[in-house]
Amino acid sequence: MTTKEVVEILKKGRAYAQRTKYKEAMAYYNKALSLDPKYPESWYLRAAVLIDTGKPQEALADCERALALNQNYADAWSKKALALFNLERFEDAVLAATRASTLNGNDAMAWYIKGVCLDELGRSDEAQEAYGKSLELEIILDMDAERRKIRKQ
Amino acid sequence: MKTEMPLSKPIRRIIRQTEEMLDTEISLLRQPEADPGGTLVDVYTYEMEKNVNVIIFPAQYVGLLKDFIIAKHCTHLLIKGAAHKKGKYLLCSYNEDSVSRGMRQIYIDTLKDEAKKAEKDKLPVNKLIQMLFILYNHFNEDVNEIPWNAIVNASVYHRMSKIRKTQLYHIMKESKNDMDEMVEQEEIIPRRYFVLNKAMFYARDMFLAKTLPADELMPVLNIPQMKKFNHLEVKEMLTHRWTHTAWYQSKVFGDTMLEIVDKHLDKVEWNAPPTLDHYYELYQLGVNLTNHLTSYMTMKDWFVWETPKHLLQAHEMKGEYEKKALKKIFGDLIGDTEGGT
């Protein structure tokens, strides 16, 4: 099985996940993992579905597998932060979110999770800073989306 | 509410408060094609199988933009729910007679405008006929939205200090979109209605500009597109835009409407304990403000205060109402197949 084929399978799974058809998405992700367990994106995508279906502990394990294969996988760090937040492990979530935002400074979600967790830990000033960064990025993304929409019209 | 999405503390709090106060449930739904301002599908407006209200927001909103949409719709839900629990939740609907009155008035005003136009600029009769209900319906939507938008925004501003910057961005964006509304049709629409439409948005913007102080702005100013507004008050930012629109000479309407909005909302205790009584008071203020604005625009008899169900049924009947109104206005001059946009 080539990486190209795994990528195709993941693409199908992603399409289902986007439509919240998680069962079908999981089937594709599991297939991809059985064919090539060394491909980190499969672990990451499965973690995303596990979070959306309320299984943060399992999602965390999948994130760890993705990160064991690629320590600089920014999205996996971001997802790990989300899993840790859902498990109410706020200190650890801050660390994971910080790593995610260091690897990818444009990850609005990572900054936001960092803000929420810092808030939970009572570190208000730092939380405000993280929220501010998250908002900046969201606004830039939103403006881009608006521009694309106008161009389409 | 059960969600796997990360939510900031104040948002979790307002969702919990809303659910407890109204004895209902809130569900959050991310959708790629959702309206930028989000959508509230609530049990007080729609017939739902379960006692669950759904707040839909664009999928790309992952952080504070999502939080603001949730705060805004929770506040609106509280107002609707309080009205339902303490009295009756009503909104501006229409029926056969009110449509007829509104369309007739628009027709008379259109004729006055058309009389002043050169022959080559006159509106073709079929377009003129089509425009009557479209414009009527447009104002129905506006009067059901603008006063509540001002109230909800003011309430969110006072209650949720942590999302003020996000709110400011939303208001600026919303204001820009609303300002562009109808501009393409400016030459077709009777001047009076173009001006009144803009005046309502102007009044809302100016009211919010007074409500939101400028010191909340800083992180937003890191965005290159917002830099030109540096050191400006929010009021100046919005005025800057309004002074560049075509209708500015007619701003006297907008200023009067702002006085009306101020008169109703200036004395509100926005930080009063968030009880059902408080939100019911906001509902009553919204009703009074809407009445005052429609009176000022001489549209008082265009709409009727009715249940949301009545409005949904009116939407289903709108083709029929339009046809009957056209018959009343034009008599036998209009064919049975005309109308029904």
**Same-domain pairing of B198 and B131:** yes
CA distance B295 to chain A (A): 36
The helix (run of H) or strand (run of E) holding residue B203 is: helix B191-211
Is residue B341 situated within a structural domain?
Answer: no
CA atoms within 13 A on the CB side of B60: 16
Taking only the tens place, the pLDDT of each residue in B154-176 is 999 999 988 888 888 888 888 77
Instruction: Mark whether B59 and B112 lie in a shared domain.
Output: no
Name the residue range of residue B39's domain: 9-86
Measured between beta carbons, the chain A residues lying within 8 angstroms of B169 are 135, 139
Total domains present in chain B:
2
Nearest-CA residue of chain A relative to B219?
A: A132
Q: Compute the average pLDDT of residues B258-269.
A: 93
A97 φψ region: left (φ > 0), alpha (ψ -120 to 50), beta (else): alpha
Asked whether residue B3 is assigned to any structural domain, the reply reads: no
Chain B CB contacts of A111 below 8 Å: 63
Return the pLDDT at B217: 47
Whether residue B337 lies inside any domain: the answer is no
Residue after which a domain boundary falls, among B54, B86, B118: B86
Give dist(CA B106, CA A39) in Å, integer: 65
Alpha carbon distance B220, B236 (integer Å): 16
Given an 8 Å threshold on Cβ–Cβ distance, is B62 in contact with A53? no
Q: Which residue in chain B has the smallest CA separation from A125?
A: B162
Looking at the partner chain, which of A85, A135, A142 has a beta carbon nearest the beta carbon of B60?
A142
Report the chain B residue with the minimal C-alpha distance to residue A56.
B4
Q: What are phi and psi of B4, to 5 degrees?
A: -95, 0
pLDDT of residue A2: 65
Which pLDDT does position B116 carry in this prediction? 83
Domain spans, chain A = 3-152
Our measurement of the distance from residue A111's CA atom to the centroid of its chain's CA atoms, rounded to an integer in Å, reads 12
> Is pLDDT of B256 > 60?
yes
B274-290 pLDDT, tens digit per residue, is: 999 999 999 999 999 99
| B47 and B137 part of one domain | no
Return the closest-CA partner of residue B196 out of B244, B114, B135.
B135
B253: three-class secondary structure by DSSP: helix
pLDDT digits (tens, 9 = 90+) for B199-223: 888 888 888 888 876 555 444 445 5
Q: Which fold has domain A3-152?
A: 1.25.40
Q: Same domain, yes or no, for B180 and B81?
A: no
User: What percentage of chain B exceeds 90 in pLDDT?
Assistant: 54
CA distance A18 to chain B (A): 9
Same domain? B67 vs B145: no
pLDDT value for B219: 47
Residue B219 lies in a domain: yes
Q: Which of B58, B60, B64 sits opposite A131 (nearest CB)?
A: B64
CB contact under 8 A, A138 and B219: no
| pLDDT tops 80 at residue B267 | yes
Last residue of a domain, one of B50, B65, B86: B86
pLDDT at B81 over 60: yes
What is the complex's ipTM, to 2 decimals?
A: 0.86
Average pLDDT of B242-248? 59
The 3-class SS string of B304-340 reads: EEECHHHHHHHHHHHHHHHHHHHHHHHHHHCCCCCCC
pLDDT tens string, chain A, 153 residues long: the values are: 568 899 999 999 999 998 889 999 999 999 999 999 999 999 999 999 999 999 999 999 999 999 999 999 999 999 999 999 999 999 999 999 999 999 998 999 999 999 999 999 999 999 999 999 999 999 888 888 878 877 776
Smallest CA-to-CA distance from B212 within B227, B232, B195 is with B232
Q: What is the pTM of this model?
A: 0.87
In a domain, B47, yes or no: yes
Residue B299 in contact with residue B102, Cβ under 8 Å? yes
Are the beta carbons of A135 and B8 separated by less than 8 Å?
no
